[in-house]
Amino acid sequence: MVAGQGVKYAVDLVMCIDGTGSMHPIIDQVKSEGLTFYSKLEVKMEEKKKKVDQIRVKVIVFRDYYADEPDKAMVCSDFCDLRSQSSNYTNFVSDIEADGGGDEPENGLEALALAINSNWETGQQRQVIVIYTDASAYSLDKGPKPSHYPNNIAKTLADRSMV
């Protein structure tokens, strides 16, 4: 067997996007970057004579558990295979609107924790997390937590089992 033969090369990308009102001036640019990165990646990979067998993208839109309604504070898509489910991905990203959030900070660390714990592809792959934000993040040690704060996210910096 030739080295590398039959090996599937996959890329999983999680985009964490700050969806709070302060992102209003740049949210369309962030969405545009998210919607065009795949075509740009394909061009770069072709230039390098590399083949990506599968590329999946998941989007996490985060706001503020302390200021927003539970269904708006953290909105996550499933992973979408960009070759076969591009319309699901495009629809999800296109529907993102900059609204909500309290004053800075926001829940960027919680979005990162959810991204880290994603259902990543196994095998030969790259796992990438990108965060788009204009705000600082709450410390995970901030308390008390709102009643709708997720159970699957560390509640303190000492609770590393969740991150």
pLDDT tens figures, 81-95: 998 899 999 999 999
Looking up tokens 């990165």 gives: 37
Note whether residue 93 is domain-resident.
Answer: yes
Average pLDDT, integer, range 117-141: 90
Q: Residue 127: how many CB atoms within 10 A of its CB?
A: 14
Residues in the chain: 163
Checking if the pLDDT of 3 tops 50, the result is no
Q: Read off the tokens for 24.
A: 């209003």
Q: Which residues contact 22 (CB under 8 A, 6 or more apart)?
A: 98, 101, 104, 134, 135
Q: What phi and psi values does residue 60 have, to the nearest 5 degrees?
A: -120, 115
Cβ atoms of 65 and 101 closer than 8 Å: no
Cβ atoms of 21 and 98 closer than 8 Å: yes
Question: What global pTM score does this model have?
Answer: 0.88
Average pLDDT, integer, range 57-79: 96
CATH number, residue 26: 3.40.50.410
Note whether residue 42 is domain-resident.
Answer: yes
Note whether residue 2 is domain-resident.
Answer: no
Note whether residue 48 is domain-resident.
Answer: yes
Note whether residue 4 is domain-resident.
Answer: no
Note whether residue 62 is domain-resident.
Answer: yes
Note whether residue 17 is domain-resident.
Answer: yes
pLDDT tens figures, 21-32: 999 999 999 999
Q: How far is CA 39 from CA 10, 11, 44, 86, 138, in A?
A: 16, 14, 9, 12, 34
Domain extent for 81: 9-162
Note whether residue 103 is domain-resident.
Answer: yes
If one counts the domains in the chain, the total is 1
Quote the CA–CA distance of 163 and 158 in Å, as a whole number. 10
